[in-house]
Structure 1
Amino acid sequence: MFIPCEQAKALIAHHQGQLVDVRTPQEFMMEPIPGAINIPLHEIDQVAAQKLDKALPIVVFCRSGQRSYMAQQILMGQGFASVHNLGPSMAWYQCPDI
């Protein structure tokens, strides 16, 4: 299930949430979301512990929501407690900034 864009933006703006783009570096460069960090899905299990803070919420997204769902499952399996799936990157633009 996807987190509504309003809730995702509130986590980022008010709770030091980490916005993580799990698309490929090429996709990330073509359509970046300001403030997002790129950790491609195929790397997330190796680098998440080094690049992400387990104490802060995480919002993951990709192009369609499938890779971000897989990333969410991987991160939760690594002990990240607050991981939310925004789904497709276009969902970020479906509500105003907070």
Structure 2
Amino acid sequence: MKKLAGLLSLLVMFLAACSNNGASYETIPLNDVVSQQVQGALVIDVREMDEYAAGHIPGAMNKPLSEISEGNYEGLDPEQDYVIVCQSGNRSKQASGILAEEGYRVTNVEQGMLSWTGAVEK
């Protein structure tokens, strides 16, 4: 009986640790980015500065995942809608999770700049 109680306790702790406290975000395909911009969302490119400088979605701001991971949210407004993009979709997913947890309104882009066929700013 003690083993069962111990296992149940571990399960509850594990589930609590995996919980994101209700923070969530939507994931959209890359081709929906422009329509999100038209609706007022700001694109955040979470690649490093050199990757961003090589070419990014017009109007996108650069906020590298490395800064977001360190808790640097300078320049971000919790009332603004954001679309998060990276090179392939991995870093944007990580950044979206962090920012959603902090209360920001974010939408993750499932692909990244590797698949982007639209206009690019340098």
TM-score range normalised by the length of the shorter chain: 0.7 to 0.9
TM-score when normalising by structure 2: 0.65
Kept in 2: contact 1:18–1:52 (CA 8 A): no
Of residues 95, 107, 110, the one that matches 1:84 is: 107
What is the Cα deviation at residue 91 of structure 1? 4.5
Question: Percent of counterpart pairs with the same letter?
Answer: 33
What is the Cα deviation at residue 77 of structure 1? 0.8
What is the Cα deviation at residue 35 of structure 1? 0.5
CA RMSD, Structure 1 to Structure 2 (Å) = 1.9
What is the Cα deviation at residue 4 of structure 1? 2.5
Structure 2: stretches of 5+ with no match in the other structure: 1-25
Which structure has the bigger radius of gyration? 2
TM-score when normalising by structure 1: 0.79
SS of the residue corresponding to residue 26 of structure 1 reads: helix
Give CA-to-partner distance per residue, 1:56-92, whole Å, 9 cap, x none.
2110111110000000000011011x31111312444
What is the aligned partner in structure 1 of residue 64 from structure 2? 40
Higher percent of residues as helix: 1
Q: Which runs of 4+ in 1 moved over 3 A?
A: none
What is the Cα deviation at residue 54 of structure 1? 1.3
SS of the residue corresponding to residue 83 of structure 1 reads: strand
